[in-house]
């Protein structure tokens, strides 16, 4: 899926449930592509100590999350630069971002991260310490709630499994991008 337009820029949305390797993959891709990776958890970690998020309903909080991320991505596309997004999206949000990227002269690829073994997935969640300032770690109960709220996408451009090595998953995404 290589685009031959001069100045073609892309947005790579790396999505999936907590503990499926999306942040690790987004960071590795950002290094390889020399593009910024915008992570929703880091944005909210920066906002949480200010109290801004405390009184928001869940729907308003999610809308803020997505608006902040897309504002940063839009700016990159306006500067004719690519970007990665590390967040969880549903089918409607993925379609919206694909459309918005096209309007800004870019292309949006959505990569779904999964973990094909629930026992491994749970161990990954229970053993991780991400150290995001102002943010919290999540437990398996949170993953199960998110699984209900965010079912697997029907139309990702690519799905990668955390059971594979990070290098293998990076190679698969780079192949998708024509790199």
74: enclosing H helix or E strand: helix 58-78
Q: How many domains does the chain divide into?
A: 1
User: How would residue 39 be classed by pLDDT, with cut points 50, 70 and 90?
Assistant: very high
Residue 130 lies in a domain: yes
Report the pLDDT value the prediction gives residue 149, as an integer from 0 to 100: 93
Nearest by Cα to 127 from 118, 135, 136, 137: 137
Residue 159 lies in a domain: yes
Distance CA 36, CA 163 (A): 25
β partners of residue 110: 13
pTM of this prediction? 0.92
Residue 2 lies in a domain: no
Residue 85 lies in domain: 9-177
Nearest by Cα to 10 from 134, 105, 103: 105
Residue 3 lies in a domain: no
Residue 1 lies in a domain: no
User: How would residue 8 be classed by pLDDT, with cut points 50, 70 and 90?
Assistant: low
Residue 82 lies in a domain: yes
Residue 26 lies in a domain: yes
Report the pLDDT value the prediction gives residue 73, as an integer from 0 to 100: 96
73 vs 5, which has greater pLDDT?
Answer: 73
Q: Residue 19 maps to which CATH number?
A: 3.40.50.300
Query: Is residue 1 pLDDT above 80, yes or no?
Result: no
Half-sphere exposure of residue 81, counting CA atoms within 13 Å on the CB side? 14
Residue 4 lies in a domain: no
Overall average pLDDT of the 110-127 stretch: 96
């Amino acid at each position: 899926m290589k685009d031959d337009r001069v100045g073609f820029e892309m947005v790579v949305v790396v999505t999936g449930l907590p503990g499926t390797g999306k942040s690790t993959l987004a960071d590795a891709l950002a290094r390889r592509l020399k593009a910024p990776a915008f992570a929703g958890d880091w944005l909210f970690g920066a906002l949480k100590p200010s109290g801004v998020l405390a009184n928001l309903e869940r729907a308003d909080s999610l809308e803020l999350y997505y608006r902040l991320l897309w504002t940063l991505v839009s700016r990159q596309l306006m500067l004719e630069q690519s970007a990665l997004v590390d967040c969880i999206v549903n089918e409607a949000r993925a379609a919206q971002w694909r459309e918005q990227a096209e309007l800004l002269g870019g292309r949006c690829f959505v990569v779904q991260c999964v973990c094909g073994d629930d026992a491994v997935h749970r161990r990954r969640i229970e053993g991780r310490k991400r150290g995001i300032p102002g943010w919290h770690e999540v437990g398996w109960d949170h993953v199960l709630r998110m699984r209900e709220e965010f079912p697997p996408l029907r139309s990702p451009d690519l799905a990668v499994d955390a059971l594979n090595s990070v290098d293998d998953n990076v190679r698969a995404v780079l192949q998708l991008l024509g790199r």
